[in-house]
Amino acid sequence: MGVDPGGAGVLHRGTRRLATWREWLPAFIARTVRYGAVGIVVATLYTVLVIFFHEGAGVGEPDLASLLGFFLAMPVSYLGHWAITFQRRHRFLEGWQRFLGLNVISFIVAVPGMHLVTHIFGWSYLIGIALSWVVAPSINYIVLQLWVFSHSRAL
C-alpha cells in the first residue's frame, strides 16, 4: 500500500555507483595529471626538434622536420607514459607494439597535418605544431588508457 518494493534496490544500486566513483575518480584525475605532465614534456621536445630541424639544421620542408621530430620524440613518450602516467603496470617492453600502433594515429595527425597546414593552407609550420599539441594528445590518452597500457592484453 504505497510502498515500492523495488525502491530499496534502486537506492542501493545508486549508493554502490557513488562509492565506485569515489574510488575511481581520484585515480583517474591523478593519471590524467601525470599524462598531461608527460605530454607537455614530449610535446615540448617535439616542438624544439621541429624548430631545430627546420630552422637550425636546414631541413627546408616542415613536413620532414615534423617527421624527424616525431620519431625522435617517440621513445621518450613511451618511456614517460610507461613509467609516469601508467606507473609501470606492465613490464617495460610489453606494450611497445600497441604503442607503435597508437603512434600511427599520432603520425597521421603530426606529419600529414603539418603538410596540410603548410602546403595546402599556406600557414606557418608553428600552427601545425600547435594543432598537433591539441589533436594528438586527446586521441592518444583514450587509446593509451584503453588499449596500450590496459590490464587486458590486446595483441
Give me the number of domains the chain comprises.
1
Helices (H), 52-151: 62-80, 96-115, 125-143
- Name the most confidently modeled range: 27-31, 71-75, 92-96: 71-75
Q: Residue 70 to residues 35, 60, 127: CA-CA distances in angstroms?
A: 18, 16, 16
Q: Is residue 1 part of a domain?
A: no
Domain of residue 21, residue span? 12-148
d(CA 118, CA 112): 10
Mean pLDDT of the chain: 78
Residue 7 lies in a domain: no
**Does some domain include residue 52?**
yes
Question: What digits encode the pLDDT tens for the residues 8-44?
Answer: 555 555 566 656 766 777 877 888 888 889 989 998 9
Q: What was the pLDDT predicted at 140?
A: 76
The pTM of this model reads 0.67
